Amino acid sequence: MATNRATKTEQSIKENSEKISQARKAISKKSLDVQNVNISQEDLAHDNWKEKQFAFPNRKIRLATAFSGIGAIEHAFQRLKLNYEIVFAGDIDENCKKSYFANYPISEDRWFTDIREFDATKYNGQVDFLVGGAPCQAFSMVGKRLGFEDARGTLFYEFARLIKETQPKAFLFENVKGLLNHDEGKTWNVIYSIFEELGYDVHFRVLNSKDYGIPQNRERLYCVGFKTSTKFLFPAPIELEYRMYDFLEDFVDTKYFLREKGVKFVTSHKNKQKCYTQVNGDIALCQKSNQQFNWHGDFVYHPLSEEDALVEDYDDFVFDVRDVEEKYYLSDKVAKYVLAGGTKSFRTSTRTDLDVARPLLQTMHKMHRAGVDNYVTHKGRIRKLTPRECLRLMGFKDTFKIVVSDTAMYQESGNSIVVDVLIAILKQMDITLYGEEK
């Protein structure tokens, strides 16, 4: 299986077509014009975005998304109880489509699979807000960082094309922090300039989810563009009121618990000293998409209280760890590789028990040292985070329906955007100003 995954990754990197070639040519031409351009991040606002009221709460916002995943922006609109209509959405992952259709009002004719084959010209003038986060592997610190040479790195150009074709009143583009310094900043200069060339007033900044209500240490680049010149400052951080522990489920299936061997491995003095493993942290390490199988990341220990100890069979989930299914544990060989500090060219943290979760990634089902994930313990037994807990740490309420496998849900949550950060941005910009006037 590892060989097959590696082959698929190489294919996606080297993929070529007429549209990919056209994108590379346009990007190359633009890069010559912006080599010495200096652009800086937008400042933070001084007011409290949580206290802001929407100017036109009854207006309908016509929302369109690309690389839609499990619909983080859509969930943000739901949580804010805003009136919105999905103009179109799309994702190449079939499991994402299953999750999306189970949770949001959309018809089949409004969904597209491959953005490169999607023509959005018929929606010109029908979109108020366009949102998307192109695949980030080409620019991520844990990837090969091939940038535009990676076929996936050209997908932002397709997002820009959708902006040109639909002419939204505003757009939001999200990506990894590493995009800013890739190729000494030239890559971001190209992207920023293309957005400006489309006629938008562009603002960008790196925001961390732990500064906006979610106890996860997840830094991402957020870029907002307005069709008209707009004075915009990004939302100011707020005090973190919750710990990762507050997001855990009360009752958890036994399949999420570590066996005795895994408990010893995670709680060993040696591993506790490593910076990519954390136990009982208040803020979770950045969650990854491969956390289903990876022993990097967050572990939570729930010791039995004196009251609990006096009650027989108080908790059905206090059991002999040897009864847990073996498939949830790493072999000695894989564990040694995964928990290594890195190589000459790549180093990673080995801390556990973080207070803020690490970012969830779409590859959390894999087993590799770059995939730092989150684990928890329950009343004397160590376990990993459940898919529901991963969703909570991404800002998704329990109303979100899980209709796919654990593996798919870990991947989808790891690839998503933190909903609470989006809520802060929507409040700060007052998204209702861009709604459809009646």
Residue predicted with more confidence, 320 or 80: 80
Does residue 256 register a pLDDT over 50? Answer: yes
Residue that the structure tokens 């190729």 belong to: 183
pLDDT band at 123 (very low <50, low <70, confident <90, very high): very high
- What separation in angstroms does the CA of 170 have from each of 44, 194, 225, 231? 19, 15, 5, 13
Dihedral, CA atoms, 115, 121, 122, 126, nearest 10 degrees? 90
Q: Which of 96, 136, 223, 286 is labelled catalytic?
A: 136
Average pLDDT over residues 129-143: 64
Provide the whole-model pTM: 0.77
Range from 75-89, 279-293, 321-335, 385-399 that averages highest in pLDDT: 75-89
Residue 96 designated active-site? no
- Determine the average pLDDT of the residues in 44-59: 96
- 16 has a pLDDT exceeding 70: no
pLDDT at position 83 is 97
pLDDT of residue 109: 97
- Chain-wide mean pLDDT for the chain? 77
d(CA 69, CA 56): 28
Closest CA to 376 of 255, 291, 279, 270: 279
| Ordered structural domains, the chain, with CATH | 2-238+418-434 (3.40.50.150), 250-385 (no CATH)
- Give kind and range of the element (H or E) at residue 306: helix 306-309
Q: What is the pLDDT of residue 142?
A: 41
Contact in structure between 177 and 187 (CB atoms under 8 Å): no
What pLDDT score does 284 carry? 84
Q: Alpha helix (H) ranges present in 45-138?
A: 72-79, 94-103
3-state secondary structure of 6: helix
Q: Assign 146 a pLDDT band (cuts: 50, 70, 90).
A: very low
